[in-house]
Copies of this chain bind each other. A is one copy, B any other.
Amino acid sequence: MTQSTSKAQPLQNDDLNQDQPHVLSIPVAESQPDRAPHSYERWLLAKLLRMTGAPPVRFRLWNGEEVEPEETTPEFTLCLSDPKALYQLVSNPNLAFGDLYSSGRLQIEGHLPDLMTSLYRAVHQAKQRWPKWLETLWRNHNPRSTSVTDAKENIHHHYDLGNEFYRLWLDEAEMQYTCAYYEKADLTLEQAQLAKLEHVCRKLCLKPGQTVVEAGCGWGGLARYMAREYGVKVHAYNISKEQLAYAREEARRQQLDHLIDYVEDDYRNIEGQYDAFVSVGMLEHVGKENYAEFGEIIKRSLKPDGMALVHSIGRNRPMLMNAWIEKRIFPGAYPPSIGEFMAVCEAGEFSVLDVENLRLHYAHTLEDWFTRFQNHEDRVTELYDEHFTRAWRLYLAGSMAAFRAGGLQLFQVVFTHGDNNSLPSNRHHLYTKPAAPEKP
């Protein structure tokens, strides 16, 4: 593992969002109080269950007493350690659920991903009947700024947690921290991640000798794949120091460093013109107020017959990011609807050629990550602490659930200049042979 003195401190961001009064500070575990719950506390939880669409969930309170759902048979039990936890959950469930779970004040009996899927499905239905005051009370906050300066902080917070941590549960092929492509359901994570890289390259119609610019390159796997398999030259931008250290080392090891320039800089400083522009899993961090600028950057970076691909988590309609994820896991993150995404393409006067939604592929990817993560929880706790391990367990399980329940989508959007007529005549070239290698 690359030891970096600037390694991000996990979950110590209480100073963030202090101007947003509904954002709680991270709760500290309390000793279990011995008082009995009040009747209105039981009433509040029953009300919470109704307002969240009667998920198959019971509550167990700090004294062992239970609150059962009215119309469903409970499959999961949520155990609250203290009265304050109850009030935090009821007043701001989007944020408090994660904070309470991470700190151990909310314990869960039952399969975590299945519980989260049930919750998302129930809430999605129930939401449409919420009174205005409840919508306002439970509203997720706006994502924080993604300016050049703040973006550094945001990215550092998540991606500089240490390469050893990510190596524990990401694929061993190319350290991909984005949706894999399970063109067949029985692919390994490694095969599916390589298939994703191949699928992206085919969509970009890469040819040997071409040049590519990549915005947000993670640990550099796509850049290496493109250089290795397609013989193209890549300029890959990133502002995560830990990821770049790994990317450069790995490119040297694979003797690809003459083809790849990993640039430590913001995507807004991309220079030059390229045959292809690619960005996999960065748009989520761009912030929708910057989409038009992003579109203009792509426009000026793309040769007249160049192809662009942007791969991003998205939504079926505009919706704020879950408060806990935005505050604790992905500061500044916002997954756009296709309509919002189009601000990028319209600003660049692009013609959208192809949109593919890989939602269930991301659910599958997260299933694989979650399994590997669970197998290494002891090591994660050694590296950080129990709080961190529980937070990441919830984040992975919750994300899997969101892709399963339809709360999140995964869009790959291919586009080109509006007047470019050098287009592939159809999409047959994406499917002439399997995208996945036979062996991982």
Contact = CB atoms under 8 A, between A and B. Distances in A.
Given A182-B425, A346-B339, A419-B121, A356 B357 contact: no
Contacts of A121: 419
A345 interface: yes
A406 interface: yes
Interface string A138-178: 00000000000000000000000000000000000000000
Interface stretch (A50-58, A103-111, A378-386, A426-434): A426-434
Interface residues of A, number: 45
A288 interface: no
Contacts of A345: 316, 338
Given A339-B339, A406-B418, A316 B427 contact: no
A47 interface: no
State the copy count for this chain: 2
A271 to B, nearest CB: 24
B425 A428 contact: no
Interface in A393-435: 404-406, 409, 411, 418-421, 423, 425-428, 430-432
Contacts of A353: 356-357
A1 interface: no
A185 B426 CA distance: 10
Nearest to A347: B317
A124 B351 CA distance: 14
A223 to B, nearest CB: 25
Interface in A350-369: 350-357, 359-361
A427 B432 CA distance: 12
A183 interface: yes
A343 B351 CA distance: 19
Contact of A419 (B124, B419, B423): B124
Interface of A: 121, 124, 181-185, 316-317, 337-339, 342-343, 345-346, 349-357, 359-361, 404-406, 409, 411, 418-421, 423, 425-428, 430-432
Nearest 9 CB-CB pairings of A with B: A355-B355, A339-B342, A431-B431, A317-B346, A406-B418, A339-B339, A406-B419, A353-B357, A183-B426
